[in-house]
Structure 1
Amino acid sequence: MLKNYFKTAIRSLRKNTGFTAINILGLSVGLATCLLIVFYVIDEVGYDRFNKKADRIMRVNFEIKFGGNHSRYAQTMAPLAQVLKTEFPNVETTLRLKGRGGVHVKKGNENIQEDRIVYSDPALFDVFTLPIINGNAATALVEPNSAVITESTAKKYFDQTDVVGKTLVLNDHENYKITGVIKDIPKQSHFNYDFFLSMSTLGESRETTWLSNNFNTYVLLKPGVDYKKFNAQLPPMMRRHINVELQSVVHLTTDEFEKAGNFFKMDVTPLTDIHLYSDKIGELGHNGNIMYIYIFSAIAIFILLIACVNFMNLSTARSSNRAREVGVRKVLGSPRGSLIAQFLAESILVTFVSTLIAVLMAWAFLPLFNQVASKELAITLHSLIWLVPVMIAVSLVIGCLAGFYPAFFLSAFQPVDVLKGKLSTGFKGGMLRSFLVVFQFSISIILIIGTLVIYNQLKYIQNKNLGYDRNQILIVKNTGALGNQAKIFKQEVKQLPGVDDATLTGYLPTADYRNTSALFQDPTLDQKRGILPQVWSVDEDYLRTLNIKVVSGRNFSTQLHTDSSAVIVNETAVRLMGLKSPLNKPIYRPMDSGGKTIKKFNIIGVVKDFHFSSLRDNISPVTLFLEDNYDALSVRTNGKNAPALISAIESKWKSLLPNQHFAYSFMDQDFDATYRTEQRIGKISVIFTSLAIAIACLGLFGLAAYAAEQRTKEIGIRKVLGADVSVIVAMLTKDFIKLVFIAILISSPVAWYFMHQWLQGFAYRVNFQWWIVALAGIGAILIAFLTISFQSIKSALANPVNSLKNE
């Protein structure tokens, strides 16, 4: 019996090849798109789950509000780890990581720049699952100047992995003994380092203060410990330890500190939540965003629903063509259950074929999707283990769901009505079909509006006045390797043709190089007159090179020795300090963690606020000090013959450091990298929106074809009676266009709500413009009209003799 159902189904599908092709193509594209999104979502939610103890690993976060500035850190104080380990019985062990920054590593006569370097406590292998190939995990990071490297790094420098006992030379004078080699860290990790240096190398002097947070601290809880209860125990511990140092520096207890509207907070983030839920200062990598997981998951479901809706629409629309078949079958004694099984068999057969094609399509387009999404997804043997049964189940479920209504609808025809020709046909009267068309285009319009809003925000970001000029600035990296020769290098570069100016500092608006410190308006360090700004070391050419505007006062000058005790602040800092006339006002800066050494600085200038972090965040206070910092050289060029200028700068570099790799970037590219996630989301949204529209149009095309077919004789009579082609086209399209108008009315407020929520993630954003809805609506109407008009014009131009000759 089952074999007969599928035999009959194949015959029926072959008889209606156009209908079958449209259904299979629509379902295939929908399933393939859904499959690609599933791969993306699985990859994103799978971060850090390779760690065997992932459910017990927590990262400790620190939060502070002081002087009107609110900051959230993924970093904590140096002594915290030891305190947690000794004072909390529910803690199994703790671990600290501290980013080292870029160094150059010697390989023969060549120095290679390496940026993925971190200091680590010995407990690294007790907390994270990092399989060690060579060496002893228990002792690998105990001794000072010991290092653990990854397998690929060992091969890069020694062409083998058996390198325990060999020496790595960092920055020409730091010798590190290799004590372990680990397998490469999986891509799905919130940090990816190639070098782990022993924390003991830093020395004990950096492990005492509670008012400085430079360490990423992890806690491994004992089995069965509820991290939420552990979380609740952190604030009193933190208050107890910070209280002593707070009284020493600003002469206040934590209670007094909080009464002034300030606070310290501490909590933990589960390891598996870091990638999607954490966006704090001091993250060890570029994290994702759970919002985009929700968005893409919704898109996948919507596209799949659109594909299923197409099937239901086309099946019910062509019901009149099969009405007589159902009537004859019932007259001959076929029970309704057999008819239902027959139509469900057709539906399942279509979805099964579509599923096979979808898997092939997903596999074929996966490299392109990886390129757009910046992923390394692949269909492997491991993924096939779950993919095959899931896709079979999906075929059955979608086949049954998509074919459920058509099967019951078609099988319910009464033989007497069918054979007498009383069955209602045509597009009119199909309330369910009308609802489904509205549903399809509502989703499509929501996606169109969402894509337009995303691109409008990206365009706003690209064109917004940031308070500095990022164009035509070349950044020479790692100039710290030059040491005292960095200033000589800067002066030589400034003399080159094509160079307008240059500044030597790593504190750039597009860099991750950051430093905060409390500053006060009086020597008693009164917290009520204190702020917590960014504290940047710059030179006298910084403002000119970046074209940062001085709104009052003046720039630094090397001709004035007093400028070593001068400070330039931004407008936000002035506002938070409540200064109406900030020039020549003093600022006091604690020069050590205990507040014993305090230095006085005078404000000599105020600069216009400039953006130095993402536009998701409000501008925070910045203070600029005339101090040496050699981490990078930013060169403003005139934009003429850039390759020749880069070559000339590299030549100067090689004359000073012949074995050091010359690395550079452009500031505008570094700025764009900050919003790379949004750019990827924009591209992916365009692709998925286009696919959703294409699938919806496939269904609309099929419906238009069947609507025209069912009204063939009516069209013939109208033409014989003198109806114009335009009148007939309007008659055939107006019913569909009405549904698109209804879809616009339904989808517009829904799209506004969700995109308004997305825009709230940006402190600086565009407003939701009315023209976006109008453009999306007009686009949907045009797309629908072009889809329908092909069939409408074809039917209107047909010879009426052919449709009326059998009457």
Structure 2
Amino acid sequence: MIKKYFKIAWRNIIRNKGTFSLNIIGLALGVASCIMIMLYVSDELSYDRFNERADQIVRVVFRANVNGEEMKEAVVMAPVAQTLKNDLPEVISATRLANSYNNRLEYNNTYYGQSNLGYVDPNFFDVFTLPIIHGNKNTPLDKPNSAVISESLAEGIFGKTDPVGKTITVTNRTKKLYVTGVMKDIPKNSHFHFDLLVSTLGYPQAKNTSWMESDFFTYLVLKKGSDINEVQAKLPAINKKYMGPQMMDAMGMSYEEFQKENKLGLFLQPLTDIHLYSDFSDSTTLEQGGDIKYVYIFSAVAIFMLVIACINFMNLATASASKRAKEVGIRKVLGSNKKQLINQFLAEAFLSTLLATSLAILLFAFTLPAFNQLAGKEILFSSLLKPLYIFSLLALLLLVTIFAGAYPAFYLSSFNPINALKSKFSGKEKNFGIRGGLVVFQFVISAGLILATLVVKEQMNYIQNKDIGYETDQLLVVRNTYLLGNNEDNLIEDIKNDPRVENVSHSAFVPAGESDNEVGGIFMNGEFQRRMFFYNVDENYIPTLGMELLQGRNFSEEYGAETDKVIINEKAAQILGFGEDPIEKTFERDTHDGLKNMTIIGMVKNFNFKSLHQEVEPLILKKNPYGGIIIRSKTADMSGIIKNLTNKWNNLNPKEALNYSILDDSLNHTYLKERKMAVILTLFAILTIIVACLGLFGLVTFTAEQRFKEIGIRKVLGSSAAQIVALLSKDFIKLVAASFLIAFPLSYYLMNIWLQEFAYRIQIHWWLFLMAAIITLGIAFFTIGIKSFRAASANPIKNLRTE
């Protein structure tokens, strides 16, 4: 019986190739999109879950609001880990991690480039599931200067030689490191990635007892079943107990006095939330995380794509009822019952869905490399072979079959045999109303995605063209000139003499992309104000970046070192209460040698040295050039300067290759996540409207077939092709237009939420709605018009012939 169902189903599919093709293409696009996004979402949600005790691990973070400065930091003070281990009975274990920069490895006088080095406590491998495959597997970091390296780094340095027991040199450390173990490479879906982990037993900062300096990522393992909120409720008392006494010494006020005007404290963050839910400053994170909002957005898009494809199937199947009516009538007269007819139509739906799913898998395999490049993922086609995904695909196949095929099956099998044989149906208007409602739903999604895409693109254009306070074009950044040592000044002088170079600044502080960071406490008359960012620059920094000096003067070699002079931005002047005339005003800066008096000699116009997600922060420029250079070219073609710079660099024989970037590229990279979202949204908006239009094309086809005699009569009586096209199109265009009433308010609400992430953002103007409406209506009318024009152009004699 089942074999017969599928045999008849295949014959019907072959007989109706046009309808079948529309169904297959639409379903395939929907299922392929669903598979792609399912794997993307699964990858995003999998971060850090490879750890055996992932559900018990939390990270301690720091949040505060001090004199208007909102502080969100993923690093906390050195003594926090052991203190919480001692004072909180729910804590089983506590461990720390500190990030280290500019680590260059040498072994046997051979240079191996940079390493991602982290300092970790000896119990780090007891907390995180990072298997050690060679060496000391129990206590690899129980001695100072002991180190565990990754499998990839071990192969890169030692080849097939056993690295355990060998010593390696890190250029910024005075003591050599002893390799005690080799660990498997840290999984891609981890919120940190290191190839070299060094014991904190030889790290001086690990012994710091200050509760006022944050340096360590700190993790706790809680007892099974512990309530994280109950544990967190105990942290304010610990803050007061340990931070209070030191606050009095550092700020001259008690903890209670401080908390009256400010908020400050430690909080707990589940390990599995770090990747998608973090909102900490870039300077205190290990890596850029994801965003749960994008997971929600893409999940919704996948579901909508699949639903639209299923709606197409339902629409096309029910619209073709007139073709199947006599078949149903004959089957019923010959003894087929309703159950058999339902099974027959479900078999056809299953076969169509199976073929569509097979095509979807091929589409997925073909487009996966491009999607991986776009989304920054390494999703493998073999992922589909995992039992969970195989089960998900089978469930998806069954779900789509039921969802897309159930209504047509029940609808077609319910025909009265006498009426079916006479081609008389009841409820045609009702059925068109149902199909019309489904068309509206499809275009609600399509028009909504088009509007969302336009808003995202407009915001990206706004960001790209906004005046951010400095000239971003024709700037070349070299981050590692400090490697040249005494030859650094020689390189700078040589570059200044290049006729293609307009200006050169000696600074490692860059307003976009990778940069050094320095934060210092500001005091006035001995009273703590707040922390502010400091930039170490030279006298060429302001002219090189094209900043505007509003008041006072720039740094100058005529005045000597000027170590006690600073230039501030407008925001800093406002916060310090200096107004528009801060020149010659003073404040104290907290240094290791105590408070140091600083005098303001200039004020620059505010410039965005962070992303436009944040408002301009207060900034202080001080003269202390080091580390890197920023070059302004006289021409947009900087290839000659780069070539010259590379040759000079190589002639100085540094151990590391020249590391340069174009500032414009770095600025664009700041908004990479948003740009990827814009591209992905655009692609899925296109796919969604293609699928919706496939269904619309099918519905117009059947409408034309149902009204073929009416069309013939109208043509004989003198109706033009344009009039007939308008006749067939008007009802569907009305439905598409009606979808705007739902789509646009919903999209406006959701996109306003997204725009709130930017401190500087566009308004969603009326013309964006108009453009989205024109695009949607234009595509819909083009789809309808193609078939309508063919129907209107047909020979009326053929239409008027009797059957």
* TM-score, structure 2 normalization: 0.96
What is aligned with 1:326? 328
Aligned to 1:8: 8
**Paired letter, 2:522:** L
Whole-Å Cα distance in 1 between the matches of residues 83 and 343 of structure 2? 69
Q: Distance in 2 between matches of 1:213 and 1:780?
A: 53
- Taking the aligned partners of 1:2 and 1:172, their CA distance within structure 2 comes to 74
- The residue type paired with residue 370 of structure 1 is N
Distance 1:340 1:429, change over 3 A: closer
Shift of residue 615, structure 1, vs aligned partner: 1.1
- In structure 2, the partner of 1:197 is 198
For residues 19-34 of structure 1, the aligned pairs below 5 Å read 19-34=19-34
Deviation at 1:287, TM superposition (A): 0.2
Change in 2 beyond 3 A, CA 1:112/1:662: farther
2-side partners of 1:490 and 1:141: how far apart?
43
What residue in structure 1 maps to residue 785 of structure 2? Answer: 789
Supply the distance in 2 between the matched residues of 1:381 and 1:188 (Cα, whole angstroms). 14
What corresponds to 1:244 in structure 2? Answer: 245
Q: Are residues 60 and 205 of structure 1, via their aligned partners in 2, closer, same or farther at CA, if it must alter by over 3 Å?
A: closer
Query: In the alignment, which of 388, 391, 394 is matched to residue 389 of structure 1?
Result: 391
Question: Kindly tell me: are residues 672 and 381 of structure 1, through their superposed partners in 2, closer, same or farther at Cα, counting changes over 3 Å?
Answer: closer
The aligned counterpart of 2:469 is: 467
Question: Which segment drifts farther, 30-39 or 199-208?
Answer: 199-208
8 Å contact kept, 1:531–1:576: no
Task: Tell me, yes or no, if structure 1 residue 648 matches structure 2 residue 651.
Answer: no
Q: In the alignment, which residue of structure 2 is the partner of 1:516?
A: 519
Question: What SS does the aligned partner of 1:533 have?
Answer: strand
For the residues of structure 2 that align with 1:697 and 1:800, how far apart are their CA atoms?
Answer: 27
Q: CA deviation at 1:623?
A: 1.1
What is the SS of the residue equivalent to 2:165?
A: coil
Q: Which range is displaced more, 420-429 or 379-388?
A: 420-429
Query: After superposition, what is the alpha-carbon deviation per residue over 1:436-458, rounded to whole angstroms, capped at 9, x for unaligned?
Result: 11111110011111111111111
Q: Is 1:231 matched with 2:227?
A: no
Q: Could you tell me which amino acid in structure 2 is paired with residue 693 of structure 1?
A: I
Please give the alpha-carbon distance, in whole angstroms, between the structure 2 residues aligned to 1:470 and 1:381.
Answer: 42
Structure 1 residue aligned with 2:740, among 741, 744, 762? 744
Structure 2: distance between partners of 1:627 and 1:615 = 27
The count of residues paired between Structure 1 and Structure 2 equals 798
Measure the CA separation in 2 of the matches of 1:36 and 1:736: 31
Check if 1:568 corresponds to 2:567: yes
Q: 1:717, 1:449 → 2: CA distance?
A: 42
Displacement after TM superposition at 1:428 (Å): 8.7
Give CA deviations for 1:666-722 in whole Å, capped at 9, x if unaligned: 111111111111111111111111111111111111111111111111111111111
Paired residue for 1:805?
801
Residue pairs, 1:4-83, within 5 angstroms: 4-83=4-83
Farther off after superposition, 148-157 or 509-518:
509-518
The equivalent position to 1:688 in structure 2, one of 681, 684, 688, is 684
CA distance in 1, matches of 2:64, 2:205: 25
The structure-2 alpha-carbon separation of the partners of 1:163 and 1:382, relative to structure 1 and needing over 3 Å to count, comes to farther
CA distance in 2, matches of 1:565, 1:172: 29
2:633 match: 637
Indicate the percent of aligned positions where both proteins have the same amino acid. 42
Alpha-carbon shift at residue 147 of structure 1 (Å): 2.2
Q: Show CA shifts across 1:172-231 (max 9, x none).
A: 864322222111111111111112222233326861221111211111223332222211
Q: Deviations over 1:570-628 (max 9, x none)?
A: 11111112222311111101213xxx721100111111111111211111111111124
**Partners of 1:221 and 1:425 in 2: how far apart?**
63
* TM-aligned CA deviation for residue 652 of structure 1: 2.8
d(CA) in 2 for partners of 1:456, 1:230: 45
Q: 1:657 to 1:222 in 2, by over 3 A?
A: farther
Q: Write the distance in 2 (CA, Å) between the matches of 1:462 and 1:604.
A: 32
1:602 paired to 2:599 = yes
Report the CA distance between 1:656 and its aligned residue.
Answer: 3.4
Q: In structure 2, what residue type is equivalent to 1:515?
A: E
Where structure 1 has 5 or more consecutive residues not aligned to the other structure, the ranges are: none
Select which of 392, 416, 441 maps to 1:439. Answer: 441
Deviation at 1:427, TM superposition (A): 8.0
Cα distance in 1 between the residues matched to 2:797 and 2:186: 74
Contact 1:275 1:289 in 2 (8 A): yes
1:418-429 equivalence runs, <5 A: 418-423=420-425
Q: Distance in 1 between matches of 2:408 and 2:33?
A: 25
Q: Structure 1 CA distance, aligned partners of 2:329 and 2:384?
A: 50
Give 1:278's aligned residue. 278
CA spacing shift, 1:473–1:11, aligned 2, 3 Å: same
- Within 5 Å, give how 1:131-150 maps onto structure 2: 131-150=131-150
- Residues 738 and 337 (structure 1 numbering): CA distance in 2 closer, same or farther, change over 3 Å? same
Q: How many angstroms apart in 2 are the aligned matches of 1:129 and 1:482?
A: 40
Q: Provide Cα deviations, 1:52-73, integer angstroms capped at 9, x if missing partner.
A: 1111111111012223211100
User: After alignment, is 342-351 or 136-145 more displaced?
Assistant: 136-145
Q: 2:618 aligns with which of 597, 617, 621?
A: 621
Q: Which residues of 2 match residues 149-160 of structure 1 at below 5 A?
A: 149-160=149-160
Residue 741 of structure 1: how far off its partner (Å)? 0.6
Q: Structure 1 residues 642 and 40, CA, compared in 2 at 3 Å: closer, same or farther?
A: same
Partner of 1:496: 498
> Shift in Å at residue 330 of structure 1?
2.3
Aligned to 1:551: 550
Give 1:4 shift: 2.3
1:279 and 1:287 in contact (8 A); partners too: no
Kept in 1, the 8 Å contact 2:105–2:115? The answer is no
What secondary structure does 2:557 align onto?
A: coil
Moved over 6 A (4+): 425-428
- Aligned residue for 1:96, secondary structure, equals strand
CA contact (8 A) 1:701 1:787 kept: yes
Q: 3-state SS of the aligned residue for 1:93?
A: strand
Residues 317 and 426 of structure 1 are in contact (CA less than 8 Å); yes or no, is this contact kept in structure 2? no
User: What per-residue deviation string (whole Å, max 9, x for no partner) do you get for residues 349-402 of structure 1?
Assistant: 211221222122212221121111111001226743222222222212211121
Q: Is the 8 Å Cα contact of residues 140 and 146 (structure 1) preserved in structure 2?
A: yes
Residue identity in the other structure for 2:247: L
Displacement of 1:110 after TM fit? 5.5
Which deviations, in whole Å up to 9, do the C-alpha atoms of 1:294-339 show, x marking residues without a partner? Answer: 0000000000000000001001101111112222222333222222
Secondary structure at the aligned position of 1:58 is classed as: strand
Q: Separation in 1 of the partners of 2:125 and 2:553?
A: 53
1:360 aligned to which of 359, 362, 368: 362
**CA gap 1:239/1:487 in 2 versus in 1, 3 angstroms:** farther
Whether the 8 Å contact between 1:339 and 1:411 is mirrored in structure 2 is yes
> 1:89 — aligned with what?
89
Cα distance change on mapping 1:228 and 1:604 into 2, 3 Å = same
Amino acid of the structure 1 residue aligned with 2:588: Y
Contact 1:426 1:711 in 2 (8 A): no
Q: Structure 1 residues 421 and 381, CA, compared in 2 at 3 Å: closer, same or farther?
A: closer
Q: What code does the residue aligned with 1:751 have?
A: S
Given that 2:112 and 2:157 are in contact with CA atoms closer than 8 Å, whether structure 1 keeps it comes out as no
- Give the whole-Å Cα distance in 2 for the aligned partners of 1:428 and 1:722: 31
Provide structure 2 residue ranges, at least 5 long, that are not aligned to the other structure.
none
Whole-Å separation in 1 of the counterparts to 2:273 and 2:736: 41
Q: Which moved more, 1:501-510 or 1:479-488?
A: 479-488
Counterparts of 2:280 and 2:334, CA distance in 1 = 72
Q: 1:204 to 1:726 in 2, by over 3 A?
A: closer
Name the CA distance, whole Å, in 1 between partners of 2:321 and 2:377.
45
Root mean square deviation of aligned Cα = 1.9
Shift of 1:513: 2.7
SS at match of 1:126: helix
Give, in angstroms, the shift of residue 342 of structure 1.
1.7
1:167-206 residue pairs with structure 2 within 5 A? Answer: 167-171=167-171, 174=174, 175-203=176-204
1:460–1:574 CA distance, 2 compared to 1 (3 A): same
| Residue 768 of structure 1: aligned partner | 764
Give the superposition deviation at 1:744: 1.4
* SS of residue in 1 equivalent to 2:386: helix
**TM-score (structure 1 length as normaliser):** 0.96
Q: Which residue type is aligned with residue 252 of structure 2?
A: H
Residue 142 of structure 2 aligns to a residue in which SS?
Answer: coil
Q: Aligned residue for 1:480? A: 482
